[in-house]
Amino acid sequence: MDKCWEREESEEEETGRTFVDKSSPRPFQKTLTWKSFRSQQNYNAMQTLGVPKIKTPQIIAPLFHCPHNKCFPIKVFITRRDRHSLSRRVIKAKFFERVWENFCSQKFSHLPIFSSDYLQNCLTPTRTRFFSFLVFCVLFLNGCKTLDRLAVNSMTDLLEYQRHSFVREEDTELAKEAVASNLKMLDGLLLQDTDNSRLQLLGGEAFFSYAFGYVETNIKPQALSSERASKLYLRGLEAASKKIGGERLFFDKDLSAFEKECKGVSKKLLPHYFWSVLNFAAWVNLNKSDLKALQNMSKVEIVGKILIKKDPEYFYGGGHLLLAMYYAGKPAQLGGMMDLSRDHFEKCLKIHERRMLLALLFYAQYYTTATQDSKLFDALLSEIQAFDVNSFPEQRLSNQIAKEKALELLKKKEDLFLE
């Protein structure tokens, strides 16, 4: 700080020395003494600003810098009548420095009122209220979108709390009635704030949960329910994939380019890939006769491997579950590998200690029917029915849905096994 000052020494009298700031466009002088600062807080603050502890009068005018390396003084006055002004003025100076960085230099630097020269004369303690009013006016004039986003963020927080309550719900009918209205609310909020990643993830999860839990039937969906569930899965895919390029990533991009893009994905984007590919895989499962489904189904395997590599425990071993269903759902001539499928199912169950009943349900639904292992089929469904959903409240609703679907699956055992 000493380099920013030019010192003029007066004759050594009882008044001592006076420091004068000549870096300001309006040089000024004001005296202060240590005698007026008796609290430890102000004592430390004086030391921080580099004021030597002497009895002679001094002056302080610390310099703060804007992002463009243009110095402008924010003058800090300390008088005997206001012992706490130092800490308040320093905080206020830092506030205006942030205002300059976040608003003025980005959007309003072309206006004369926000020029560096004007700020040098404006940001004095006697004019801070005026500048605060100007900042408020700027925010208000640009505030329609800002207020809308504040409202959307508030609603997003509320929806996240609702989600935590929703997954702990035991009454599946009550959850069914609640989730339908939330889907339309999510749609509206996504139209208002298309770049909100939290809303995108909530939308992807909500559409998948509603379609799988309440629309799609268990084994052989009828035409109407299958078509409706397919549309809901596509809407979930659209919502969750906005952050990573949209649904065209799964339908239009070729496999080599898709794999290259997935390899460079950051861990922050893994949830978007997971909920996108989960909706996509569910859509593929209902549309195996569709040419686009056959051409792009290998992307499920690519994303599953990336999830296992980046975060194998994400969503209770979601990467292992994806690969297990993928290998079990394909015929042997198209790349189905039952041993590898069983290995991934067991790894997934180990991660969540066999408490995620949907994994057990898919194990019975895909693997045991493909291998015609009726004994394992009975054992898995019995394990599902014996499980206490209250022992794992984080997934109470999905476990309750798995119990109901396991009963439906058991009724169709004769159609699933040749024995």
Q: Which residue has the higher pLDDT, 78 or 200?
A: 200
Choose among 367, 360, 368, 366: nearest CA to 385: 360
Instruction: Check residue 366 and report its DSSP letter.
Output: I
Among the residue ranges 81-85, 186-190, 326-330, the one predicted with the least confidence is 81-85
Per-chain mean pLDDT for the chain: 74
pTM above 0.75, yes or no: no
The predicted-structure confidence for 221-263, as pLDDT tens digits, reads as follows 466 678 899 999 999 999 999 999 999 999 999 999 999 989 8
CB 329 within 8 A of CB 285: yes
Q: Which residue has the higher pLDDT, 199 or 38?
A: 199
d(CA 193, CA 187): 10
Separation of CA 416 from chain center = 42
Q: What is the pLDDT of residue 353?
A: 95
Query: Buried b / exposed e across 158-190, counting CB within 10 Å, b at 16+?
Result: ebeeebeebbebeeeeebeeebeebbebbeebb
The answer for residues whose C-beta is within 8 angstroms of residue 225's C-beta and 6 or more apart is 215, 216, 217
CB 268 within 8 A of CB 314: no
Question: Residue 407: pLDDT above 60?
Answer: yes
Residue tagged 């969540």 (tokens) = 352
The predicted-structure confidence for 375-385, as pLDDT tens digits, reads as follows 999 999 999 99
Instruction: Check residue 106 and report its DSSP letter.
Output: I
| Mean per-residue pLDDT, 68-93 | 41
Beta bridge partners of 156: none
Q: What is the pLDDT of residue 333?
A: 60
| Mean per-residue pLDDT, 130-159 | 67
Beta strands in 194-247 (DSSP E): none
Rounded to 5 degrees, φ, ψ at 82 are -130, 90
CB 328 within 8 A of CB 336: yes
CB 198 within 8 A of CB 206: no
Q: Which residue has the higher pLDDT, 49 or 75?
A: 49
